Amino acid sequence: MKRKALIVTLTILLCLFFMPQYSGVIRRAEASRPTKSAAAIIAPTPFVATAPLNVTAECMITIESTSGRILYAKNEHKKRPMASVTKILTAITVLENTADLDVKRIIPAGAAGIEGSSIYLAAGEKISTIDLLYGLMLQSGNDCAVALAILTGGSIDAFATLMNKTAQKAGANSSNFINPHGLHDERHYTTAFDLAYITAYAMRNKVFRIITAANSRRIERTREDAPTLILNKNKLLNSLAGADGVKTGFTKKAGRCLVASATREGMQIISVVLNCGPMFEECSALINAAFGEYKLTKIAAAGDALTEIKVFDGKSKTVKAGIARDLYYPLRADERVEAVFDAQKVRAPFKKGRKLGKVEFYLENRLIFSEELFSIEDAGSMSYWEFLKRGLGEWRIVHNKDKHYANKQILSLLRDCQPSKLRTACA
């Protein structure tokens, strides 16, 4: 009798095992949109809106820094000379290639007497790299730019190679940098688009952020008659709410250029204008418009349950799944984000943190985030009797009431180990 009961039991288990299983994509219509602000950088996304005012700049772009979303743009891919806003890239290239910023360096002869803006470096004087960076970014010292290039790269040409590599890391692929200061050269150009993403990249560096937000700096110099107080030329630091950088520029060929930044409630906006007479006014208006129209919105929180994935042989039929980091994105009040889940049914047991698939977030049918999906809880396996009980309980029930009754009877008889009656119930 025991042998017959075992045969019947195994037959039922085999039937359950080969029943069709779920697999595929789960969709959720809309991601939650809490209003807390914070900062999350992803690739640029081209949701471009026309600027909400009459922009006179030849080229312009305004982006949200951490997501890279383009908020407003005009001729953003047009190649143009950019004057001293070049020094944004100079600064971040130096920061990434200098081990000790406080060591005093001997100023090379090639850095003395450079035309244009200057802190009047003299060959042979000693000054730290950090003070040269302040001279570069606040006073816009062309002599500081050349000194930093030679001290960092060994030569202007070698440093320009480093600059171009750094620009490419930042996502700037339509630019060519020949010198560290931005004095005119037909081979030296960029786009408003590239400058915005170079700046967003640079703003991820803490030292860069501190330098570019400073109103002034008193530097240490070995020349007794040399100026030591450096003032920032960026007027927006004192007139625009939340302003925290970054750089002005001017040459006759480039016109007036400005890259400006401001942060409010955790959202940072970067605006670039090239060849723009009222550069401070237009950047200020664009940044204010962006803060008025967009809010940095939490799309999903790390560790929160975003969906449930079906589980084979688990004590629970599903396991909760989420992602490993918080996601934020600038959204207008009328915008909604869709989450699309791609996860296969998995077999228990497994521990919290098991990779289950992926989730993609879309805005206006454009991908903005793609994240791995993980279990946020353990999934224990069923015992033999739990497995058998659930399998029988989920047996495919047809609408015929007699069949429904028979399925329940199978479970009851199997518990009592009465194989002869079990065969009758299955007939």
Overall average pLDDT of the 183-194 stretch = 98
Q: Inform me whether the pLDDT recorded for 26 exceeds 50.
A: no
Please say if 140 is a catalytic residue.
yes
**374 with 400: CB under 8 angstroms?**
no
The whole-angstrom separation of Cα 271 and Cα 261 is 6
Peptide bond just before 349 cis, omega within 30 deg:
yes
Q: Inform me whether the pLDDT recorded for 24 exceeds 60.
A: no
Rg value, the chain, Cα: 32
**341 with 26: CB under 8 angstroms?**
yes
Homologous superfamily (CATH) for 59-293 = DD-peptidase/beta-lactamase superfamily (3.40.710.10)
Provide the whole-model pTM: 0.81
* Structure-model confidence comparison of residues 384 and 280, the more confident one: 280
Please say if 126 is a catalytic residue.
no
The whole-angstrom separation of Cα 172 and Cα 82 is 14
**pLDDT per residue over 110-151, tens digit each?**
999 999 999 999 999 999 999 999 999 999 999 999 999 999
pLDDT, position 217: 98
What is the pLDDT confidence band of residue 426, given thresholds at 50, 70 and 90?
A: very low
**325 with 335: CB under 8 angstroms?**
no
pLDDT, position 403: 52
Catalytic one of 65, 67, 74, 87: 87
Residues 6 or more apart whose Cβ sits within 8 Å of residue 169: 201
Q: What percent of the chain has pLDDT over 70?
A: 77
Catalytic one of 65, 67, 84, 175: 84
Catalytic one of 140, 175, 261, 271: 140
DSSP-derived secondary structure for 220-275: --S-TTS--EEE---GGGGTSTTEEEEEEEEETTTEEEEEEEEEETTEEEEEEEES
Which two three-digit tokens encode residue 23? Answer: 């697999």
Q: Which fold has domain 24-38+299-375?
A: Peptidoglycan synthesis regulatory factor (PBP3), Domain 2 (2.60.410)
Task: Give the containing element (helix H, strand E) for 392.
Answer: helix 384-393
pLDDT, position 278: 97
The residue ranges of DSSP E strands in 93-228, in sequence order, are 104-106, 126-128, 216-218
Q: Inform me whether the pLDDT recorded for 338 exceeds 70.
A: yes
pLDDT, position 226: 86
Please say if 87 is a catalytic residue.
yes
Q: Inform me whether the pLDDT recorded for 256 exceeds 70.
A: yes
392, amino acid identity: L
pLDDT, position 385: 67
Q: Inform me whether the pLDDT recorded for 64 exceeds 70.
A: yes
What is the pLDDT confidence band of residue 344, given thresholds at 50, 70 and 90?
A: confident
Neighbour count for residue 62 (Cβ, 10 Å): 29
> Up-side HSE of residue 138: CA atoms within 13 Å toward CB?
25
149, amino acid identity: A
